[in-house]
Chains A and B, each alone.
Chain A
Amino acid sequence: MPSTIVTIELNGTDRELIARPSTTLLSALRETFGLMGAKRGCAQGGCGSCTVLLDGRPVVSCLIPVVTVDGSAVETIEGLADGERLDDVQQAFVDHFATQCGFCTPGMIMSATALLNRKPDPTRQDVTEAICGNVCRCTGYEPIITAVLAAAERRRGDPAVPTPTVPTPTVPTPTVPARPAPTEAEV
């Protein structure tokens, strides 16, 4: 089968590429456009690390032939931040320590973004359903769920609740607080 010219609106800009029938949306993003945010964790549709938004819906881009999405809008992790200003979901993932190795993070954030676009006031169950196709082997998911719920709150505009970057523990006894005076290291 011959190659065809495909046009997509990629993070708000029209882009063209010449694609073979077997070219996936994931490889178009990574190899043609150099957008490396979407990851290839399995190429089988099983891990969610390649998740992007296709006309607003989260999809696993490794399973989608790019010729089938001609004329669609594609949003990737690279399109979320406003310059150096992180969007609310990204910021919440930073603040709530929702990343470890970070390989699942772009896909996770795109799934969460799709949810919050659709449902600004999600329940915990909404969140777990939205990210249930995204595998994370590091975090145990809890910090991710926390981050998504916090992002929803921020988006709804609750600036009265600033997100702490250096959180304080809530239970029995406090951890050693940061002190101004340093001391010699001891080994």
Chain B
Amino acid sequence: MARVTPIDTAYFKGERAGDFAVIGSAVPRSDARGHVTGRTVFFEDMTLPEMTHVKIHRSTRHHALIDRVDVSGALEVPGVLRVITHEDVPNNWYTVLRLIGVGPDDEPVLAEDRVLYRGEPIVAVVAETEEAAREGAARVAVGYTDLPAVLDVEEALADGAPIIKQAGTNHFVYEGHHCRRIRFGDVERGFAEADRIIEGRYSSSPIEHAPTEPTGCIVVPQGDGRLRIHTNTQAAFFTLDNTALILGVPPTSLRVVGGTVGGGFGGKVDVIVEPLACLAAMLTGRPAKYVFSRAEEMQVSSPRAAERISIKDGVMDDGRIVARKITLYVDAGAYSRHSPYGTTKAAAHMPGPYTIPNVHVDAYCVYTNRTPSSAMRGFGVTIGDFALESHMDHVARELNMDPLRLRLKNAYRDGDMKAHRKIASGTALVEVIQSAADLVGHDLPPEYRAMSSTERSEG
């Protein structure tokens, strides 16, 4: 019998009342039958006559000027139909968030005069078969002049670091500031008043989405001259609009068909494969398929950003946290993609689900010569939570205090003002802690038991 997580109806009894027919029922998945019979159609589940295949020649350098690109070797490979360079791309710049006014467009579709990371696409090869496309891509010859590479976020921001971005800074500029700032209360005064200062520093490595289905698409020219794009994008119109901008074609000339995806986790949000596959289809007049190999998926497609987070807390002996200062570095890699957005989200999440009167956050979106990072499940928050909650444990140990009581004491409640100045509502941190304590038989004294997100019992 399927295990269905029980609902503890004792919490928020009044609020959760409702009278529903199908809401709240464990009805079977409508797609399960397709999954177990193999009938579910993923984008790659079609064979088309005359299908062509796209493979990419990629940078072998972290940071270099491109002196020379020789595609003649590729064109000699039997089955290779054509090569695509930046000159073939009508608007050779990714426009990730242009539609909602977030810039800058800093990433070429195919490299022009320089590469900023190992794996950056330089030439696309279109061929009759995957093997020919792969062979053709391998035969492209590129001459480089290496430039100094920056591979570490803090080194990137240090004085005298080589500037790798043509915009002039190794960090995203937030309305004139080096970082996304949160300023709430007076953090220095909070530190001065605190019984003790407790500091920590936390970091992570880049993480791959690793969906079982690789990122990809098949583009099919239609009788009416339009292109039908079968894709596993996580965002159909996002893909359509951005692809149209890059191709310089009216959006009405494209149609995106998808919606069935073999896992995304954020990795299929960047619009990377569709523009080049569309170009291949336009230039050959034939269907074109561009799918990441597993190696590309793991080393070239954008990972979850590595982060480095410093936390400095001013803490009273009774467990109240009165000041929290956070410096956070997001390793965006070579290009922006969604990282400037994610860094703001990281800042907004601080100082965690706690009410702290004095908060100071500097969240930097830093460019390095690494694979561009982008969205992944928990974007901007997952690593922050690792830092915050490890630090809460550290604080509890320093104070010799029960870690759950420390959290309950500081937990945010309805009506509290968050550091970003929104009034909290619908909070339930207190209750999930109480409930988890129940699950493991962790004793909480009556005053902690009696706590509630809807009212603040003690000051």
Residues of A in contact with B (beta carbons under 8 Å apart):
22, 30-31, 34-44, 46-47, 49, 76-78, 80-81, 86, 89-91, 93-97, 99-106, 109, 135-138, 142-143, 146, 150, 163-183, 186
CB-based contact A164/B213 at 8 Å: no
Interface of A is mostly: loop
Candidate in A38, A49, A171, A177 with the most chain B CB atoms within 10 angstroms: A171
For A41, give its contact among B19, B47, B212 (CB under 8 Å). Answer: B212
Interface presence of B263 (CB below 8 A): yes
- B60 surroundings in chain A (CB, below 8 A): none
Contacting pair B8 A172 (CB below 8 A): yes
User: A173 near B262 (CB under 8 angstroms)?
Assistant: no
Checking B6, B28, B211 against A169 with a beta-carbon cut-off of 8 angstroms, the contacting residue is: B6
Additional 20 contacts, C-beta under 8 A, given A36-B45, A137-B210, A137-B263: A30-B47, A36-B42, A37-B37, A38-B38, A40-B44, A40-B214, A43-B293, A49-B212, A80-B37, A90-B36, A94-B36, A96-B1, A97-B29, A102-B35, A103-B212, A146-B3, A150-B1, A167-B4, A174-B6, A176-B18
A46's contact among B8, B33, B36, B294, by CB below 8 Å, is which? B294
Contact mask B124-139 → A, CB, 8 Å, 1/0?
0000000100000000
Chain B residues with CB under 8 Å of A43's CB are 293-294
B29 touches A77 (CB 8 A): no
Are A102 and B31 within 8 A (Cβ)? yes
A25 to chain B, nearest CB (A): 15
* Closest chain A residue to B438, Cβ basis: A172
Please state if B262 and A94 are interface contacts (CB–CB under 8 Å).
Answer: no
- A105 touches which of B19, B27, B36, B294 (Cβ 8 Å): B36
Q: Does B22 contact A (CB under 8 A)?
A: yes
Closest approach, in angstroms, between the C-beta of B344 and any C-beta of chain A? 28
Q: How many residues of B contact A (CB 8 A)?
A: 51
The answer to whether A102 touches B34 (Cβ under 8 A) is yes
* B265 on the A face (CB < 8 A): yes
Mark interface residues in B6-33 (1 if CB within 8 Å of A CB, else 0): 1111100000001111111111110111
Cα–Cα distance between A164 and B2 once the two chains are bound (Å): 8
User: Is B66 on the interface with A (CB-CB < 8 A)?
Assistant: no
The smallest beta-carbon distance between B293 and chain A, in angstroms, is: 7
User: In the bound complex, do residue A97 and residue B2 qualify as a contact, i.e. CB atoms below 8 Å apart?
Assistant: yes
Does B40 lie at the interface of the complex (its beta carbon under 8 Å from any beta carbon of A)?
yes
**Of B26, B31, B39, B262, which contacts A39 at CB under 8 A?**
B262
Q: Could you tell me the distance in whole angstroms from the C-beta of A175 to the nearest C-beta in chain B?
A: 5
Whole-angstrom CA separation of A101 from B209 in the bound complex:
14
Q: Does B235 contact A (CB under 8 A)?
A: no
Contact between chains at A103 and B36 (CB < 8 Å): no
Residues of B within 8 A of A (CB): 1-10, 18-29, 31-42, 44-47, 131, 209-214, 261-263, 265, 293-294
Q: Return A104 CB to nearest CB of chain B, in Å.
A: 5
Q: Considering the chains assembled together, what is the distance between the CA atoms of A172 and B11 in angstroms?
A: 13
Q: A86–B32 Cα gap in the complex (Å)?
A: 11
B37 touches A102 (CB 8 A): no
Classify the interface of chain B: helix, strand, loop or mixed.
Answer: loop
Considering residues B2, B3, B45, which has the most beta carbons from chain A within 10 angstroms of its beta carbon?
A: B2
Q: In the assembled complex, which residues on chain A have CB atoms less than 8 Å from the CB atom of B10? A: 173
- Are B28 and A175 in contact, CB atoms less than 8 angstroms apart? no
Q: How far apart are the CA atoms of A30 and B51 in the complex, in Å?
A: 14
Contact of B294 among A42, A78, A176 (CB under 8 A): A42
9 nearest A-B pairs in the assembled complex, by CB-CB distance:
A37-B38, A102-B35, A103-B262, A176-B24, A36-B45, A77-B38, A42-B294, A90-B36, A182-B21
Cβ B263 vs Cβ A101 within 8 A? yes
Q: Which residues of B contact A109 (CB under 8 A)?
A: 36
* Chain A residues with CB under 8 A of B3: 142-143, 146, 167, 170
Report the Cα distance A135→B262, complex, angstroms: 12
Complex CA–CA separation, A146 to B1 (angstroms): 8
Distance in angstroms between the alpha carbons of A135 and B211 in the assembled complex = 9
Distance to closest chain B CB from A80 (angstroms): 8
Given A78-B38, A97-B29, A137-B210: A181 touches B21 (CB 8 Å cut-off): yes
Report which residue of A40, A104, A168 has the largest number of chain B beta carbons within 10 angstroms of its beta carbon: A40
Question: Is B262 a contact partner of A169 (Cβ separation < 8 A)?
Answer: no
In the complex, the answer to whether B20 meets A183 with C-beta atoms within 8 Å is: yes
Contact A39 B42 (CB under 8 A): yes
**Cβ distance B178 to chain A, nearest Cβ, rounded Å:** 36
Q: Are A93 and B36 in contact (CB under 8 A)?
A: yes
Task: Give the CA-CA distance A100 to B297 in the complex, in Å.
Answer: 21
A36 contact set on B, CB distance < 8 A: 38, 41-42, 45-46
Q: B residues within 8 A CB of A175?
A: 4, 6-7, 24, 26
Q: Are A176 and B7 in contact (CB under 8 A)?
A: yes
